[in-house]
A and B are shown apart, each in its own frame.
Chain A
Amino acid sequence: MITRDPISGVGIGLRAEHYEYVKRERPSIPWFEVLIDNYLGHGGQIQRHLQDFSELYPLTFHGVGMSLGSCDPLNKTYLDLLKQAIQTYQPVLVSDHLCWTGFQHEYVHDLLPMPYTEEAAHHVADRIKQAQDYLGTQILLENVSSYMQYQISDMSEAEFVAYVCVLADCHLLLDINNIYVSAFNHRFDANEYLSLMPTDRIQEFHLAGYEDQDDHLLDTHGQAIHPPVWELFKDAIKRFGARPTLIEWDNNVPEFSVLQQEAGKAELILDQEQHYAA
């Protein structure tokens, strides 16, 4: 069971480029999110960093390794390592994605979307329940960006996300950038998507920058958050109220101060817009 105090405000995704800076300067950031898969099963300096940061800041764990939508059996080795890390470092939240990342011992290390069907919803929800039981904690499920759609889907992505959360009784990590990217790629209405989300289950927001490939948007986390994503974030806060919000930046990682500026913008929106929420 996770027993840390709840977090609030705008956190930052911790990246290797900033390890030394953060340890030295101890910037005033309410919490950091770590990509936990990078630490699992590793010792030495890698484990030392995680140890150090867990003593300095509240942490949330964010992973891709559960492969919750896959038709393989749940990976016990991975879950054991994750469970051990949860017990050792006591993260405030633990999250993974509504996707699959591989099948039959071949791993893509990418977030592959599910078909939006009744069968797929029950499949992934059953696995989330198993994972939650195994880990002894509820997890947050994140919506992913996607670039393909299956013929057999017979509900919308938003309906699917909401349905799975209810079936699995898990929390929701709503990635605002991912909604925007998928809405652009698949021509759906992002605000209508928000209107279908289960408000009470939302425990965190993600914000990141995409890359414009003309014909589609690519979720690269390699630049500043784009204006329409900020707008959608405002809409989300008006609708749902404030939640812990994370700035994600994984490629072309800039100086830490740039991330702090992004966090400052998000902080302002949280302050200004949350009063509209019922």
Chain B
Amino acid sequence: MLPELQKQFMNGLLRKDALILKQLDSQIRDSQQQLNIYRNSYRGGLLKAMKDIYPVTEQLLGETFFEAMCLRYIEQTPCQSFDINQYGANFSKFTDAFSPVKALIYLPDVIRLEWAWHHAYQATEPPEHDFSPLLNFDETQLASLYFSLQPSMTLLASPYPVDLIWSANQITEGESVNLDAGPHHLVIWRTGLNSHIDTVDLEFFNFLIFIQNHHTLGVIQENDPQFEEHLAIGLQRGYFSHYHF
């Protein structure tokens, strides 16, 4: 009885299914009206969460358009985490396919950047890892190692200078950004309490992508002529959380 009731309610709330209406007592208030109160509050809660995560996107689109777009997204995307802070993760994918904003070619990447910033802010810190034993490893041992990137980290490559668009639209409408400034390769992550957006060159970015895709150092070395330099920079900046065999 109870599972069926909860299922019907969810279908009514999320998919406008009418079965639940018969289960509600309409002596004081119409059943549809009772459900609508919950629908409004559900949509309002998720909308608020998205406004917190995507302030720059809202700034770029204007409040009215942004909210309408979010509500469309919310209709299609039930929340699948008990943590409301995880909601909105695939908003950029939705935007890729959302034709009314097609002209804003850089928008999906701005959204990816905002999500990465949000993720970096709230990510948990991994335990400290001691990298000093690396010094004693021989070539073969090193070649068979896997490195892991910091859990707060997102790698984002965009044909547009989205980091400049992002920083130019922080609270008020910013100065215009030259979209022809070339592709930008970004590392969004956090150390301690501070979040960062690092701009890196294509070669180093590709090295990090190899790490992210769980290749051994041996494989990466075969593919990256600047391997040693890249590994040293990564270690020095603290981009890696740990290594394992």
**Chain A residues within 8 Å of B, Cβ to Cβ:** 37-38, 40-48, 65, 67, 70-71, 75, 77-78, 100-110, 112, 115, 117, 119-120, 123, 147-153, 185-187, 215-216, 218
Contact = CB atoms under 8 A, between A and B. Distances in A.
Given A106-B78, A109-B45, A148 B2 contact: no
Contacts, number: 125
B24 A109 contact: no
A112 B38 contact: yes
A216 B82 contact: no
B122 A148 contact: no
Interface string B36-53: 011001100110000000
A215 B14 contact: no
Given A42-B122, A148-B34, A48 B85 contact: no
Secondary structure dominating the interface of B: helix
Contact of A152 (B1, B7, B45): B1
A44 B122 CA distance: 6
Contacts of A41: 83, 124
A148 B24 contact: yes
A102 B35 contact: no
B23 interface: yes
Given A43-B152, A110-B41, A150-B24, 10 more contacts: A37-B83, A42-B123, A43-B123, A44-B192, A45-B193, A65-B82, A104-B10, A106-B79, A108-B42, A109-B46
28 contacts: A37-B83, A41-B124, A42-B85, A43-B152, A44-B121, A44-B125, A44-B190, A44-B195, A65-B83, A70-B6, A71-B3, A71-B6, A77-B82, A102-B79, A106-B80, A108-B42, A110-B41, A115-B5, A147-B29, A147-B37, A148-B24, A149-B25, A150-B23, A150-B25, A151-B24, A152-B1, A185-B28, A215-B33
A216 B31 CA distance: 14
A108, A120, A185 — which one has the most chain B CB atoms within 10 A of its CB?
A: A108
Nearest to B120: A44
A205 B132 CA distance: 55
B122 A149 contact: no
Contacts of A216: 29, 37
Nearest to A151: B25
Contacts of A107: 78-82, 84
B38 A186 contact: no
A186 B80 contact: no
Interface of B: 1-3, 5-7, 9-10, 13-14, 22-25, 28-29, 31, 33-35, 37-38, 41-42, 45-46, 78-85, 121-125, 152, 190, 192-193, 195
A187 B78 CA distance: 33
Contacts of B125: 43-44
Given A45-B193, A150-B25, A106 B10 contact: yes
Contact of A104 (B5, B7, B41, B124): B7
A267 B167 CA distance: 46
Nearest to A37: B83
Contacts of A108: 10, 13, 38, 42, 79
Contact of B82 (A67, A110, A215): A67
Contacts of A185: 28-29
Smallest CB-CB A-B distances: 3 pairs: A43-B124, A148-B34, A71-B3
B221 to A, nearest CB: 32
Contacts of B46: 109
Contact of B28 (A45, A100, A186): A186
Nearest to A122: B2
A147 B85 CA distance: 26
A109 B78 contact: no
B38 A148 contact: yes
A112 B10 CA distance: 10
Contacts of A47: 124
A45 B37 contact: no
Contacts of A123: 2
Given A109-B42, A110-B45, A216-B29, A40 B83 contact: yes
Contact of B29 (A48, A77, A215): A215
